[in-house]
């Protein structure tokens, strides 16, 4: 089964992280992708261009880059890249994460043996050393469990998803929803009748830590979260009780001291 890998990169990414990511999705994979599509989201650093050119020389036509004149943000960049993917099966990957050697092999088996539209997995989170996993971001397995979980939290780990291109496009692809582009896509796919599945083991290790928590605080993030909840309520995914319950819980979390929030974050990841 042929598939594409879809990524987007921007100028703040570290060249060594991107190079490690490429090693994990090509050099170390038991089943290699038939195509890697990288969207260059605006002008990049010279160091990033050097790493990109290194991989172009190594992979040739298998490595397709799409340069954008200005930074458009992750959602729009992925939409552009998705249109350029040649294959129906598309695996997402963030350019600073690390795929396990059997990631693609295990996900492709799910697509070959099941009638599903999107498959993700657990992810391991590390701060500096990829061999020292701090915690795992676990998500439920079956479609019914995923739909129920989605009422409270994001049910899919975006950096580990593999999906059918046509199903994502049918649901409207990624849309503007600051901080929640992927979560909003999953909700629309659920409402559109797509079938979900999560492999119950980590297939990607991702960089995380205190900075990730900092991005989930502040007035702008709170406003974006309220807008997101209002949107999925208006689209019929949440009823009134669910909307107000989740709103109160989430706003309470955002108001907590950082140290308390860190402990809650760790508990949720177990």
* pLDDT on residue 250: 83
The number of residues making up the chain comes to 270
User: What backbone torsions phi and psi does residue 62 show, to the nearest 5 degrees?
Assistant: -70, -25
* pLDDT on residue 34: 98
Residue-wise DSSP of 102-153: THHHHHHHHHHHS--SEEEEEEEEESS-TTS--EEE----SHHHHHHHHTTS
* pLDDT on residue 121: 98
pTM: 0.91
The neighbour count for residue 262, using CB atoms within 10 Å, is 14
pLDDT along the chain (270 residues), means of 10: 97 97 98 98 98 98 97 96 98 97 98 97 94 94 98 96 98 94 98 98 86 59 91 96 91 67 56
* pLDDT on residue 71: 96
Distance between CA 173 and CA 165 in Å, rounded?
9
Q: Give me the helices (H) in 15-130, please.
A: 15-22, 46-59, 74-84, 103-113
DSSP element (H, E) containing 40? strand 35-40
Determine if residue 60 is left, alpha or beta; phi over 0 gives left, psi from -120 to 50 gives alpha, anything else beta: left
């Amino acid at each position: 089964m042929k598939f594409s890998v879809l990524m987007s990169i921007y100028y703040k990414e570290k060249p060594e992280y991107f190079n490690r990511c490429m090693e994990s999705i090509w050099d170390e994979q038991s089943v290699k992708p038939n195509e890697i599509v990288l969207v260059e989201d605006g002008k990049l650093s010279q160091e990033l261009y050097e790493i990109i050119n290194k991989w172009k020389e190594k992979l040739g036509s298998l490595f397709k880059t799409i340069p954008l004149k200005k930074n458009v943000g992750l959602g729009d960049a992925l939409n552009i890249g998705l249109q350029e993917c040649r294959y129906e099966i598309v695996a997402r990957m963030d350019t600073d994460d690390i795929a396990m050697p059997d990631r693609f092999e295990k996900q492709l088996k799910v697509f070959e043996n099941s009638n599903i539209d999107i498959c993700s997995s657990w992810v391991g989170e590390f701060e500096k050393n990829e061999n020292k996993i701090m915690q795992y971001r676990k998500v439920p397995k079956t479609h019914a469990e995923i739909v129920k979980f989605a009422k409270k939290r994001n049910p899919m780990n975006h950096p580990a998803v593999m999906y059918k291109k046509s199903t994502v496009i049918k649901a409207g692809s990624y849309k503007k929803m600051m901080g929640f582009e992927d979560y909003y896509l999953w909700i629309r796919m659920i409402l559109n009748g797509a079938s979900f599945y999560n492999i119950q083991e980590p297939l990607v290790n991702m960089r995380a830590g205190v900075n990730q928590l900092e991005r989930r605080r502040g007035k702008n993030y709170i406003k974006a979260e309220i807008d997101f909840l209002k949107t999925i309520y208006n689209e019929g995914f949440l009823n009134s009780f669910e909307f107000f319950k989740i709103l109160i819980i989430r706003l309470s979390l955002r108001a907590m001291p950082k140290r308390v929030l860190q402990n809650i974050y760790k508990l949720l990841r177990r």
